[in-house]
Structure 1
Amino acid sequence: MSSNPMEQAKPWRLAARAEKMNPSVIREILKVTEKPGIISFAGGLPSPKTFPVAEFAAACAKVLKGDAHASLQYAASEGYGPLREMVAAALPWPADAAQVLITTGSQQGLDLLAKVLIDEGSRILVETPTYLGALQAFAPMQPEVVSVPSDDEGVVIDDLEKKLAPTLAAKAAALPPEGARSPWGGPAANKSAGARFLYVLPNFQNPTGRTMTEARRTALSERAAALGLPLVEDNPYGDLWFDVPPPAPMTARNPDGCVYLGSFSKVLAPGLRLGYLVAPKPLYPKLLQAKQAADLHSAGFNQRVVAEVMADGFLERHVPTIRALYKSQRDAMLAAMREHMPAGVSWNTPAGGMFLWVRLPEGMDAVALLPTAVEHNVAFVPGAAFYADHGDPRTLRLSFVTASADEIRTGVAALAQAIRQHAGKA
């Protein structure tokens, strides 16, 4: 044993919640993609071709020329007023800018919600599969995460009620009278449906690329409202539709029963680290307090720059160019899949967003396939990463937005060859 007291000392005792923190599977896979020659379908990164560099350069200069000191000073925790007003005005339901909280990426919105709404052992519901980053944000609060099955139309309502059934009867006696019920009113209200909230991504979902239908949104909104079940609606991809826009957000149907999350990362640039949440008025103060404790405020300079870029309706001109690019890349991937994939491999056709959801032949495992794929210089994310429980080992996610059309064709052909090789070993 060393006699050096510095080597013997163990001053850092981890909190129990730290044990629940895990590295991002996707971030670990992205390290592999740094290998020269790797074609990566793994990351959920927007295409750099869509970053409006010239507009940002001009906006930065204008902000610094106009009010440099204010833009570089500490700022309000709620966010830059004009930007909050822009967000509120763009929402497809009447909302007050006072309900908008600017966050350091929409990922921070998930973290704030976890801190404010989840106690150890709290039951939360997530559609399955779901966004990996949400599972990571919720995990340190040590909830009971319950997966609710979804299909090509969205969350399966009957399965949602089955998940809630064991606790609904026990909670029924504690419910306030109909009409007085509020899902955000405190611990008792938040447990009224036996769960703190249901987390959903209805538009071009990460990882599946699916979009919840109008009928399913209506049914889910109505059932959640009847049960007093809050909804957390995450919508980072909603503007990235290819042919027709998706149905209206569920928050538009029941604003008082939903928290809505949005992001500037997919339509402007992720390096800004700016997103927002729109919360019911009873819940907003606690989310604001959690924000103040976390980082005081999101980058004030960046907020002013984004507001300047957006001031003249820039997104109305810019977003259609993103849609056109991503649609062409989706089509290139679909064509390559049809040409190269062996029998037994299936995939969907997303109507927007960034991802294709693939299912391997019977008996194959996407996690076991990944090393073989990397040997063929192509990477993907196994679908198992997106399940709160034991998921379908045959699934995997492919991103089509960062690779060129030629890279997509080459990468899909390589992946198909890896599948054939791995199937021969199985």
Structure 2
Amino acid sequence: MYRFTEPFAHPSGSPIRELFKYVGQPGMISFAGGYPAADLFDVEGLNAAQTRAFESPVRCLQYGPTDGLPELKQEILALMARRGVKCSTDELLMTTGSQQGFDLLLRVLVGPGDVVLTEQPAYPAVLQALRLQQAKIVTVPIDDEGIDVAKLADMLAAGTVHRPKLLYTVPTFANPSGAMLTHARRIALLELAVRYGFLIVEDDPYGDLRFKGSALPSILALAKEVDGALPWVVHFGSLSKIVAPGLRVGWTIAPAEIARRCVVAKQTADLCSSPWTQAIAAHYLAAGSLERHLPHIAAMYGRKCDALCDALEADFGTAIAFHRPQGGMFVWARIEGIEGIDSSALLTNAIERKVVFVPGKAFFSDDVDIHSLRLSFAAPGIDDIREGVRRLKAAFDDGAQRRS
């Protein structure tokens, strides 16, 4: 009856969001969504920032500039400078979460049939956005050190990838893999972008959540070390994972020519992000609250990650393989040793046992690994993590018994 546009004729929703109907069930332990730990929200600091922000109520309640409140932009410029990035206000756009930044970028750069490279496995919302934009998705495999840049170089040199518009990557504690792209690979990726003329889209929501190892500069920070690379990098940042997702505060740093067009696209989307939450974020950052609170969050996530990995090793043994991340919120795992184990079938058994996770197929555009799964350790408490792994192993044993 309705004449929908082609991308929305038969749309599929987020596979992770589909699991939330189970998360709220009494007694359910969730390793599913990438939710920050609610008990780690800096409620006191945010309340103080909100009080300060509302001292200028009109500033909070009136429309604001499309590109963001000037005071918040100054705080983000200072934050990025501490991360080794210097940019100007006309290269910075505040967005309603970093996901909006990606959506705006696609609207101004990617048309039907344009080639977009993604690491695989990749964040499902990005794959969903690319499909709705009717892009041609070409995947590049990853390993424990992030996207396989040598493989990408071979693909480009052989001509198997034709004129990619951009490459999307989460190089620091990737979602879902938790992998950290090495310094050498970051430089090599920048060199490929210059040589073949594609944008590197660097999504960095987890970089501050390091609990082991040494920090690496962002791809944007390293771009100044590679001749001609700076115009080929777009960087997304967010306060969702390190402050609170309810603020919906993200940002895009892009060459001014791109950023200006994203501002025009944003004007037609929401006019401006919420001035109220932007003002709260500006005061929160200006007070130094983020720097004071971040170590506490990272340390607790480190304890939770250890609890999850230790429990997986103790309960599953060699039946599951995974990489221990040095930061972020996720452990990427693979069921080993028994033919026919499908993580989607395991999820069905797991829900009966009151534990939920995300099957790996949600993160693949092609060549799906049905044995993989993503486990988030951020939201549950340590006791729940251990109990959740016990329930997951019981669900795994149920499935193995049925097959035998």
- 2:206 counterpart SS class: coil
Amino acid in structure 2 at the alignment position of 1:51: F
Instruction: Name segments (4+ residues, structure 1) moved above 4 Å.
Output: 165-169
Once residues 332 and 20 of structure 2 are traced to their aligned partners in structure 1, the CA distance between those partners, rounded to angstroms, is 18
Once residues 150 and 125 of structure 1 are traced to their aligned partners in structure 2, the CA distance between those partners, rounded to angstroms, is 13
Name the residue aligned to 2:391: 414
Conservation of the 8 A alpha-carbon contact between 1:125 and 1:148: yes
Once residues 304 and 50 of structure 1 are traced to their aligned partners in structure 2, the CA distance between those partners, rounded to angstroms, is 21
Conservation of the 8 A alpha-carbon contact between 2:144 and 2:323: no
Once residues 253 and 228 of structure 1 are traced to their aligned partners in structure 2, the CA distance between those partners, rounded to angstroms, is 17
1:166 Cα deviation after fit: 5.8
Q: Which of 263, 266, 283 does residue 241 from structure 2 map onto? A: 266
Name the residue aligned to 1:139: 131
Name the residue aligned to 1:79: 68
- 2:46 counterpart SS class: helix
The reply to whether residue 248 of structure 1 matches residue 217 of structure 2 is yes
Paired residue total: 392
Name the residue aligned to 1:18: 8
Once residues 257 and 19 of structure 1 are traced to their aligned partners in structure 2, the CA distance between those partners, rounded to angstroms, is 34
Q: Which of 168, 184, 202 does residue 233 from structure 1 map onto? A: 202
Once residues 154 and 56 of structure 1 are traced to their aligned partners in structure 2, the CA distance between those partners, rounded to angstroms, is 34
Name the residue aligned to 1:332: 307
Distance 1:20 1:407, change over 3 A: same
Once residues 87 and 70 of structure 1 are traced to their aligned partners in structure 2, the CA distance between those partners, rounded to angstroms, is 19
CA RMSD of aligned residues (A): 1.5
1:335 Cα deviation after fit: 1.7
1:160 Cα deviation after fit: 1.1
1:56 Cα deviation after fit: 1.9
- 1:283 counterpart SS class: helix
Once residues 314 and 129 of structure 2 are traced to their aligned partners in structure 1, the CA distance between those partners, rounded to angstroms, is 39
1:168 Cα deviation after fit: 7.8
1:164 Cα deviation after fit: 3.0
Once residues 344 and 85 of structure 2 are traced to their aligned partners in structure 1, the CA distance between those partners, rounded to angstroms, is 42
Name the residue aligned to 2:46: 56
Once residues 245 and 48 of structure 1 are traced to their aligned partners in structure 2, the CA distance between those partners, rounded to angstroms, is 27
Q: Which of 24, 30, 41 does residue 34 from structure 1 map onto? A: 24
Q: Which of 173, 181, 188 does residue 219 from structure 1 map onto? A: 188
Once residues 272 and 62 of structure 1 are traced to their aligned partners in structure 2, the CA distance between those partners, rounded to angstroms, is 16
1:165 Cα deviation after fit: 4.4
Once residues 24 and 133 of structure 1 are traced to their aligned partners in structure 2, the CA distance between those partners, rounded to angstroms, is 7
The reply to whether residue 393 of structure 1 matches residue 370 of structure 2 is yes
Conservation of the 8 A alpha-carbon contact between 1:116 and 1:286: yes
1:342 Cα deviation after fit: 4.3
Name the residue aligned to 1:100: 92
Once residues 109 and 21 of structure 1 are traced to their aligned partners in structure 2, the CA distance between those partners, rounded to angstroms, is 21
Q: Which of 98, 115, 119 does residue 111 from structure 2 map onto? A: 119
Once residues 88 and 287 of structure 2 are traced to their aligned partners in structure 1, the CA distance between those partners, rounded to angstroms, is 21
Larger Rg: 1
Single out whichever of 257-266 and 238-247 deviates more from structure 2. 238-247
Name the residue aligned to 1:308: 283
1:229 Cα deviation after fit: 1.7
Once residues 101 and 241 of structure 1 are traced to their aligned partners in structure 2, the CA distance between those partners, rounded to angstroms, is 26
Name the residue aligned to 2:356: 379
What 5-or-longer segments of structure 2 have no aligned partner?
A: 224-229
Q: Which of 223, 238, 261 does residue 286 from structure 1 map onto? A: 261
Once residues 264 and 401 of structure 1 are traced to their aligned partners in structure 2, the CA distance between those partners, rounded to angstroms, is 15
- 2:234 counterpart SS class: strand
- 2:268 counterpart SS class: helix
1:243 Cα deviation after fit: 2.5
For residues 85-104 of structure 1, the C-alpha deviation after alignment (integer angstroms, 9 at most, x for no partner) is 22122221221122110000
Name the residue aligned to 2:292: 317
Name the residue aligned to 1:90: 79
1:227 Cα deviation after fit: 1.5
Amino acid in structure 1 at the alignment position of 2:59: A
Conservation of the 8 A alpha-carbon contact between 1:110 and 1:138: no
Once residues 103 and 292 of structure 2 are traced to their aligned partners in structure 1, the CA distance between those partners, rounded to angstroms, is 32
Once residues 96 and 339 of structure 1 are traced to their aligned partners in structure 2, the CA distance between those partners, rounded to angstroms, is 50
Amino acid in structure 2 at the alignment position of 1:393: I
1:20 Cα deviation after fit: 5.9
Conservation of the 8 A alpha-carbon contact between 2:66 and 2:271: yes
For residues 237-274 of structure 1, the C-alpha deviation after alignment (integer angstroms, 9 at most, x for no partner) is 00000033431111123232110001011111001111
Once residues 156 and 32 of structure 2 are traced to their aligned partners in structure 1, the CA distance between those partners, rounded to angstroms, is 34
- 1:349 counterpart SS class: coil
- 1:260 counterpart SS class: strand
Conservation of the 8 A alpha-carbon contact between 2:163 and 2:196: no
Conservation of the 8 A alpha-carbon contact between 1:384 and 1:390: no
Once residues 76 and 392 of structure 2 are traced to their aligned partners in structure 1, the CA distance between those partners, rounded to angstroms, is 41
Name the residue aligned to 2:226: none
Amino acid in structure 2 at the alignment position of 1:73: Q
Once residues 36 and 327 of structure 1 are traced to their aligned partners in structure 2, the CA distance between those partners, rounded to angstroms, is 27
Once residues 113 and 107 of structure 1 are traced to their aligned partners in structure 2, the CA distance between those partners, rounded to angstroms, is 10
- 1:406 counterpart SS class: helix
Once residues 324 and 242 of structure 1 are traced to their aligned partners in structure 2, the CA distance between those partners, rounded to angstroms, is 6
What 5-or-longer segments of structure 1 have no aligned partner?
A: 1-9, 170-192
Give the alignment's TM-score, normalised by structure 2.
0.94
- 1:231 counterpart SS class: strand
Once residues 14 and 324 of structure 2 are traced to their aligned partners in structure 1, the CA distance between those partners, rounded to angstroms, is 26
Once residues 17 and 93 of structure 1 are traced to their aligned partners in structure 2, the CA distance between those partners, rounded to angstroms, is 37
